Amino acid sequence: MSAARSAGGMQFGTILANDVLTTDCSRLKDRPALQATNAKDNALIPETKT
């Protein structure tokens, strides 16, 4: 299972968090490539007017 799937599973409660998965997901979150990809993805999400 990839770290990205583990992070999503922990976020939505389908995978129980443990020390190993939490550490692995934290390292993934800090990678510049993932941060750049998330910024591109977030730029594509339209702003909602409230």
Instruction: Parse the chain into domains and list their residue ranges.
Output: 3-43
Question: Is-contact 10 22, C-beta < 8 A?
Answer: yes
Digit-coded pLDDT (tens) for 10-44: 888 888 888 988 888 888 888 898 889 888 988 98
CA 19 to the chain's CA centroid: 16
| b (16+ CB within 10 A) / e for 1-35 | eebeebbebbeeeeeeeeeebeebbeeeeeeeeee
pTM of the model: 0.56
